[in-house]
Structure 1
Amino acid sequence: MLKFTYTETGINIERSTQALEELVMWRIVLAMRVGERLTVAPGTASFLLPANLQCWDLLEAVVQKSLDDTIALCQCDAEFIEVSLRGTWIAQDCNCEEGIFLAELGDSLPGTLCERAEFILFKLWQESLTCRVKG
């Protein structure tokens, strides 16, 4: 599973082996204990990655084998590709810009393809960070 943390300063992506239901449950327990309002809802998250990164062909091949539209790629322009994922949004409310988005690709891809898609997406994101530091 991929865990996207959206904050006012940007986005952080990490891979998690924790089950979606378990992570949601612990987040709900934490919110209850600190008296915080929490919304958990299905949703979609999109983010841009530079089009000149390596591994795009690998990810496109995996996406083509996807059984549904859990993951989609769209060439925005010559410089960027938009990655859209369906998953679960956890935040104070549905319209909040800060929160956690969980994308579990296992329902749409067979086991190893799911792991490969998550791994490739994570690596592309990491590579985009090093490109920003260099550029």
Structure 2
Amino acid sequence: MLKLTYTENSFYLELLTESIEEWIQARVLLILRVGQSLCVEPSTACFLLPANLPGLGQLHTEVKRDNNREIIDVYACDTDYVEVALRGYWLSVNAQNISGGFVTAMNNSTELFLHKLWLEAHTSASLAIE
């Protein structure tokens, strides 16, 4: 399972071993125990990767696998970036909140490879800023 955590300024992509159902169930129980509200809804999350990132060709191959077609798409944005669109579930304190978490699941090899690409892009961007 992949988890994207969105804040006002950025997001973080994590690779988790739990199933979506287990992860959401644990969050619902926690929210019930602390007496807060929780919104869980089907949604789409998108993020950008550099178009010159090594391995994007392999990502396109992973996307074409039958069991990923309805979960992930990769689109060319411009000459510098591609957009990765994922379908899954958005969790936040209410439907209008811009901070929250997004979870999705696809085959393990695609999740692992997408996480690796995001880490490479994130590391490259951090080094460029320094």
Q: Which TM-score applies when normalising by structure 2?
A: 0.92
- Counterparts in 2 of 1:48-127, with a 5 A limit? 48-67=48-67, 68-105=69-106, 114-127=107-120
Deviation of 1:7 (Å): 1.3
Q: Secondary structure at the match of 1:127?
A: helix
Q: Secondary structure at the match of 2:94?
A: coil
Deviation of 1:22 (Å): 1.0
Q: Secondary structure at the match of 1:97?
A: coil
Aligned to 2:5: 5
CA distance in 2, matches of 1:10, 1:66: 31
- AA paired with 2:108? E
CA distance in 1, matches of 2:109, 2:18: 17
Aligned to 1:111: none
CA distance in 2, matches of 1:103, 1:61: 19
CA distance in 2, matches of 1:58, 1:2: 18
CA RMSD in angstroms, aligned pairs only:
1.2
CA distance in 1, matches of 2:66, 2:87: 13
CA distance in 1, matches of 2:122, 2:62: 23
Q: Secondary structure at the match of 2:113?
A: helix
Stretches of 4+ aligned residues off by more than 4 angstroms: none
The sequence identity of aligned pairs, in percent, is 38
How many matched pairs? 127
Deviation of 1:21 (Å): 0.9
- List per-residue Cα deviations over 1:105-124 (Å, max 9, x = no partner): 1xxxxxxxx11111111011
Q: Which runs of 5+ in 2 are unaligned?
A: none
